[in-house]
Amino acid sequence: MAEILFYHLTQSTLEDALPGLLERSLARDWKVTIQFMSDERRDAMDSYLWVYSDDSFIGHGTERDKYPNLQPIYLTVGEENPNGSQVRFMLEGSNCTEPDNYERLVVMFDGHDEDLLAQTRQQWKSYKAKNHKLTYWQQTEDRRWEKKA
């Protein structure tokens, strides 16, 4: 059964927080899929991950690229998993209907968006009702993650 982690962004943007979590996943030799709600957001993150740091980049691809099965990180708006990811990041309210296909699901949400907060609470309740192991992480003032539940 998948471990499901909820990451509540309160001090930074998704663009600030996501690359560090992706780098940690890659350091564990995990393949990752990132699911977005829109092509526009996927495309913006696609561009951003190549240039987010002067010291490094995060290799990745989308369904428009050749060989999605070889990508360490796959960006999508769908539920496919062509690279055999162990970890799936669900952003902006996206949903995974087959969580047990992964070792870990990561639900990241903006704490300043009331509609998204309500939707995320419903996701929490749904996963909890199915007896998934859930943890909740919230950003501290210094942008670190603190486990709250």
CA–CA distances in Å: residue 4 to residues 29, 107, 119? 19, 7, 16
Token pair for residue 148?
């709250």
Is 137 in a helix, a strand, or coil? strand
Q: Give percent of the chain with pLDDT exceeding 90.
A: 89
Strand arrangement of the beta sheet that strand 104-110 belongs to: 61-62, 73-76, 32-35, 87-91, 104-110, 3-9, 133-139, 145-147
Cα within 13 Å of Cα(17), Cβ side: 23
What is the per-residue pLDDT across 72-86, written as a single tens digit (0 to 9) for each? 999 999 999 999 999
Q: Which domains does the chain have, with CATH numbers?
A: 3-147 (3.40.50.10110)
What is the per-residue pLDDT across 102-141, written as a single tens digit (0 to 9) for each? 999 999 999 899 999 999 999 999 999 999 999 999 999 9
Determine if the pTM surpasses 0.85: yes
